[in-house]
Amino acid sequence: MLDFIAAVAAGAGLSDYRVVVNAGAGAGQTVFHLHWHVLGGGLTGRMT
């Protein structure tokens, strides 16, 4: 799976990125499933 994420990031022109997975009601999901967020750009908010 991580190879796929690296390929998606490279395809989007990202050399540096973060991967986030939110799972469960406590993470804000209302439809329960697994998905990955590939985020480029600088850190913001609580991540700094």
**pLDDT greater at residue 12 or residue 34:** 12
CA dist., res. 1 & res. 47, Å (int): 24
Q: Give the model's pLDDT for residue 47.
A: 67
Q: Which amino acid is at 42?
A: G
Domains of the chain by residue range: 2-47
pLDDT tens digit sequence for 24-38: 888 888 888 888 889
Tell me how many degrees the CA angle 13-22-33 measures, rounded to the nearest 5.
Answer: 100
pTM exceeds cut of 0.85 = no
CA dist., res. 37 & res. 48, Å (int): 18
Q: Give the model's pLDDT for residue 48.
A: 67
